[in-house]
Structure 1
Amino acid sequence: MALCIPDWLLERVALGELPPDALADARARLEREPDGAARLARLEEDSRRTLERHPPATVAAEVERRRASLARVEAAREAAREGRGDVSLGVPVAASLVLLFLTAGQLLFSPTAMPPSPPAWVDTGAETERIKGTPMLRVYRQGAGQGEPELLADQARARRGDVLQLRYVAGDRPHGVVVSVDGRGAVTLHHPALLTGSTALTHGEPVALAHAYELDDAPAFERFVFVTSMEPLDVGLVLEAARALARQPSEARIRPLPLPATLTQTSFTLEKVP
């Protein structure tokens, strides 16, 4: 009996986010599944409906609007710091900054919205403790043979073929989505497994995602982003934000996803080496 391909791989097939050979192999495996074609059709229909609700052009335009707003704010701040221009403009500029932040509200994103990832864990032998209230990601690399998985540090080196296991700590957030962006601009959904899946998180001990993830030959980096919220999340909107950011590789490595500031983001980056 043929094994069903995992949901995360089915998602990449539907999105066309696999190298040609891997895509052909995955489609061949689907054809051998009793319900393979139907699974793919259901997922493609879900994706179509999501895109109808959130057209890429609309998302891209919103991202550009926020970026332009941020650029104007930063330019005004720099001018104020360096004392350029008429001093009488100081109050209007300050007022405009306040107005911009108030009117942009949840839509304005800032490069400082996602702080540098602090140490997510304190190792105590086989046990671990989480930082209370702080959502975190932990990434393991599968060991050779039956060896223990290797806990990776942020910015650790990784290679094509490395098999990773992601674990999350929900902190004080009841909902979350995990996506990744690589150096080729591909975006992968890790949690939930499907666009229509629940974004509910399990609290307490670190929770391993259902499926391992094998790195492909995408260059430069693989970055995992954990978006958390006090309310259920729109998975499609998070994916579209990730794709918008992925189109700018130089920023995809470090910038937060262009999402409302009410959402918490933390990320974990692996440096890809040959």
Structure 2
Amino acid sequence: MTPESRRIPDALLDRYLSGALDPEAKRQLEATLAQSPWDKARLAELRADSAAFLLQHPPAPFVARVQKAERPAWWRSWPVLLAPALATAMLTLLVFQPQIEQLLQTLIEGDPYTVKGSVMLVLHRKVGESSVQVSSGDTLSPGDAIRFEAKASNNGFLAVVGRDAKGVITVYHPFGGTAAHPYEASQPLLPEAVALDDTLGREDVYALFSQQAFELDWAVRALEEGRSLPQAAPKGISVGHTFFVKK
């Protein structure tokens, strides 16, 4: 398999595996996969790499509540399940068919917190002694334990905030904080894990990233007022987003 025989870059396959594509983008990509055995093979390789990493680095026993005074050792050992970080530079290395080129352009122009932007947010749910990625829109249950992964291209400052179906705002990282916390791009898996409460319905979760320190009052206020965080964000702050439905 050579780069010339493939139509889809790893950047898009990475997003596909993490459940980060919207339904139309997913449909277009799967249509191309159906016609490209080389891309199918690469997708299988990326999926196998993630599975192998998980087997080689199983998580230690899980403690669900972030309110625990002492963080156990597994906080430092829960594996990162995603393929390598997205790299915009990769997009120029491969030759794509027209619909993939159009899809890439749409992602670059219209998805500011993944390809073009500087932060991507992924959730992981604890299952037994392992963990699974939570795709945007997945159904979770009260009591499920989740952990956050924020992928940015540079060091800087990061916060994770959520708004549940009742409009309650929670700062998940730094838990209960009022300002973004220093972030290292080499350590995308955040230390906090939480057990979901019994508020049913949709919860939106946002990663906020900047290379400069920033306060969170504007974000909390925007969420309370039902405004779009990407539009409300001050200049220099990127926003990543995912959501789940609690039933």
How does the TM-score come out when normalised to structure 1? 0.47
Partner in structure 1 of residue 194 of structure 2: 213
Query: How far does residue 173 in structure 1 lie from its aligned partner after superposition?
Result: 5.5
Contact 1:179 1:225 in 2 (8 A): yes
Unaligned runs of 5+ in 1: 1-117, 246-250
Seen in structure 2, the aligned counterparts of structure 1 residues 199 and 119 have a Cα distance that, compared at 3 Å, is farther
Give the structure with the larger helix fraction.
Answer: 1
Give the structure with the larger strand fraction.
Answer: 2
Query: How far does residue 261 in structure 1 lie from its aligned partner after superposition?
Result: 4.7
Match of 1:152 among 115, 134, 143: 134
Match of 1:263 among 224, 237, 247: 237
Query: How far does residue 189 in structure 1 lie from its aligned partner after superposition?
Result: 0.5
- Structure 1 residue runs of 4 or more that deviate by more than 3 Å after TM superposition: 118-123
Seen in structure 2, the aligned counterparts of structure 1 residues 238 and 220 have a Cα distance that, compared at 3 Å, is same
Q: Report the Cα distance in structure 2 between the residues aligned to 1:162 and 1:271, rounded to whole angstroms.
A: 12
Check if 1:168 corresponds to 2:134: no
Match of 1:200 among 182, 185, 206: 182
Aligned length: 146
Amino acid at match of 1:168: A
- Deviation string for 1:141-182 (max 9, x for gaps)? 1113xx311211111111111111112112236122110111
Match of 2:160 among 161, 178, 194: 178
Partner in structure 2 of residue 115 of structure 1: none
Report SS of the residue matched to 2:192: coil
Check if 1:234 corresponds to 2:189: no
How does the TM-score come out when normalised to structure 2? 0.52
Contact 1:120 1:138 in 2 (8 A): no
* Pairing 1:1-274 to 2, within 5 Å after superposition: 119=16, 123=47, 124-125=49-50, 126=53, 128-132=83-87, 134-144=118-128, 147-172=129-154, 174-195=156-177, 199-208=181-190, 210-245=191-226, 256=230, 258-273=232-247
Q: Report the Cα distance in structure 2 between the residues aligned to 1:194 and 1:153, rounded to whole angstroms.
A: 25
Contact 2:155 2:184 in 1 (8 A): no
Query: How far does residue 130 in structure 1 lie from its aligned partner after superposition?
Result: 0.9
Q: Report the Cα distance in structure 2 between the residues aligned to 1:207 and 1:241, rounded to whole angstroms.
A: 26
Q: Report the Cα distance in structure 2 between the residues aligned to 1:205 and 1:130, rounded to whole angstroms.
A: 12
Q: Report the Cα distance in structure 2 between the residues aligned to 1:206 and 1:226, rounded to whole angstroms.
A: 12
Q: Report the Cα distance in structure 2 between the residues aligned to 1:271 and 1:199, rounded to whole angstroms.
A: 27
The structure with more radius of gyration: 1
Amino acid at match of 2:196: L
